[in-house]
Amino acid sequence: MVEKIKTLIEEVNGFASNDAKEIEAFRIRFLGKKGTVPGLFSKLKQAKDEEKKVLGNAVNQLKALAQEKITLLKNNLQDFDAVRSPVADLTLPGDPLTPGTRHPISIVKNKIIDIFSKIGFNISEGPEIEDDWHNFSALNLPKHHPARDMQDTFFLKTNPELLLRTHTSSVQVRYMENHKPPIRTISPGRVYRNEAVSARSHCFFHQVEGLYVDKNVSFADLKQTIRFFTEELFGKSKIRLRPSYFPFTEPSAEVDVYWGLDTEADYRITKGTGWLEIMGCGMVDPNVLENCGINPKDYSGFAFGMGIDRIALLLYQIDDIRLFSENDLRFLKQFKREIF
């Protein structure tokens, strides 16, 4: 009986047809109520107990192969009929392809990268899941430092020492640990903070931070670099720097660009002052340089950081940051004409 089943299996494997009647006849012969497979199952009852397992496996194999063969032939038959059908005219032109568009965050990020690449900045990247050292401690934020409260952090339950990075400054730490000065790099990327989602804030957003470390780097170099950036991106060169505080820079400053008061929108986004805050910056704290293996007696540097989402909101006059992550095609299609 086993040899007979093997012969039937070979017959099933060798069967081929593009005729619906032949395929149906094949199905009835093997799988119909009075077909070969049901008949073999009936004969199993009469087999000896020690043979039932072997014969049962063989009959099941035959049944599965027959079912697969029938399914395959029917699918091929449908494809064959579709090609032969007069409805499918292969000479007709295809549907037009709708061109895609870059996301506004990507557009602005690429613009920023292009601007800083003109003055010698390269790009550095790092992991979004960071350890405490690179995200906090190396940046002059040891444990229990009160300034840690400035950034509401997502910690991993499985390992409290790991977290979703709160800024891309962690990438700068990694870069300084692995490269010797002179260093001139920008670090774009996504960051996470445990904040309520609203029209003006989100629990994840995008940053780009810059770092320049070399001998005799001064605050004047920082100011001139930022002025070049604002001229290239906004077409505006009038800036001001207000004293501020960041744990990893000293002195630190907030950068405002004079946006103007030419339109009603200018009054709205600048709250009637004409000035608009765009980034934070400062001279790299000597402790940070030392933590990264750079001698602060020989080298100095400056750093700056800005929110890409915030810049995009300004450039495109968008009033809700949530639009960036909702994948609404009506919103995204507005950026087709952008060259970046």
Q: Which of 210, 140, 182 is nearest to 300 (CA)?
A: 182
Hey, what are 67's tokens?
């079912």
The radius of gyration of the chain from alpha carbons, rounded to an integer in Å, stands at 34
Domain 104-335 homologous superfamily, CATH: Bira Bifunctional Protein; Domain 2 (3.30.930.10)
Sort residue 19 into left (φ over 0), alpha (ψ -120 to 50) or beta. beta
- Report the alpha-carbon distance of residue 59 to residue 53 in Å, rounded: 10
> pLDDT value at position 21?
84
What integer is the mean pLDDT of 180-204?
Answer: 90
In tens, the pLDDT along 29-45 reads 878 877 887 777 777 77
- Identify whether the C-beta of residue 188 lies closer than 8 Å to the C-beta of residue 274: no
- For residue 18, count other CB atoms closer than 10 A to its CB: 11
What integer is the mean pLDDT of 47-64?
Answer: 75
HSE value, Cβ hemisphere, 13 Å, CA-based, for 58 = 19
- Split at pLDDT 50, 70, 90, the class of 337 is low
- Identify whether the C-beta of residue 304 lies closer than 8 Å to the C-beta of residue 209: yes
- Report the alpha-carbon distance of residue 16 to residue 23 in Å, rounded: 8
Name the average pLDDT for the chain.
86
**Max mean pLDDT range (63-72, 228-237, 266-275, 324-333):** 228-237
* Domain boundary assignment for the chain: 2-84, 104-335
Burial of 210 (0-12, 13-18, 19+ CB in 10 A): buried
More confident residue, 94 or 208: 208
- Split at pLDDT 50, 70, 90, the class of 81 is low
Hey, what are 301's tokens?
């540097």
Peptide bond between residue 251 and the one before it cis (omega within 30 degrees of 0): yes
- List strand residue ranges (DSSP E) for 193-292, in order: 204-214, 239-246, 249-258, 275-284
In tens, the pLDDT along 143-186 reads 877 766 666 888 898 888 899 999 999 999 999 999 999 999 99
More confident residue, 328 or 282: 282
Hey, what are 238's tokens?
């009038």
* Percent of the chain clearing pLDDT 90 (strictly above): 45
- Report the alpha-carbon distance of residue 297 to residue 146 in Å, rounded: 28
**E strand or H helix at 123, and its extent?**
strand 122-123
Burial of 222 (0-12, 13-18, 19+ CB in 10 A): buried
More confident residue, 340 or 37: 37
- Report the alpha-carbon distance of residue 197 to residue 14 in Å, rounded: 62
HSE value, Cβ hemisphere, 13 Å, CA-based, for 89 = 4
- Report the alpha-carbon distance of residue 76 to residue 338 in Å, rounded: 45
> pLDDT value at position 238?
92
- Identify whether the C-beta of residue 269 lies closer than 8 Å to the C-beta of residue 316: no
Please tell me the pTM assigned to this model.
Answer: 0.68
- Identify whether the C-beta of residue 130 lies closer than 8 Å to the C-beta of residue 124: no
- The set of long-range contacts for 143-147, using a CB threshold of 8 Å and a minimum separation of 24, is 145/247, 147/247
Hey, what are 170's tokens?
């962690």
Q: Give the type of residue at 143.
A: K
More confident residue, 328 or 109: 109
What integer is the mean pLDDT of 103-131?
Answer: 94
